[in-house]
Amino acid sequence: MGNFTSCCSVESQTAKIIDLHGNIRIVEIPLTAADLMLEEPGHVVSPAVEISGSDSRFSAIKADEELTAGKVYVLIPVRRVNSKVSESEMAVIKASTGVKSKAKRRNSKVLPVLDESSDKEIDNPVKLIPNQRLRPWKPALEPISEGI
């Protein structure tokens, strides 16, 4: 009846493997972590999505677990399991996965600009803070009886 093309893209059955040097390898699915560990002795597979924060640690997936299509995994040495991810390693992983780092927000505050044409002195600073009650603090002191 003719050629048929779909408007929906078919996701390829591949996963992305990154090592800590930034080398990227595309592997065909189905594939287990054990298959990768046989190809790279002394290494384990860690999901890249779990490595995201500044306090992140490398975690290994089970050897019999199958890799998921479209996901990114990191190949790490066995001795690095449960160790903290350094900033340089985090940068390599984010650069390889295409994750953009969020801009760090500074704790800066914007202050209003005072009009230079008005050189009036501020007599009462309480007027500058709207909708706030300012009462002086008065402690309630009671005498201490010593029972002489």
User: Poorest-confidence range of 35-44, 83-92, 117-126, 138-147?
Assistant: 117-126
Terminal-residue alpha carbon distance, the chain? 113
pLDDT in tens, 23-63: 899 999 889 999 999 999 999 999 888 776 667 888 889 99
C-alpha distance from residue 143 to each of 27, 77, 136, 138, 140 (Å)? 81, 71, 22, 16, 10
Mean pLDDT computed over 77-95? 86
Decide which of 106 and 50 is more confident: 50
For the chain, the domains span: 14-97
User: Is this structure's pTM higher than 0.75?
Assistant: no
pLDDT tens digits for range 8-20: 544 568 999 998 8
The highest-level CATH class for domain 14-97 is alpha beta
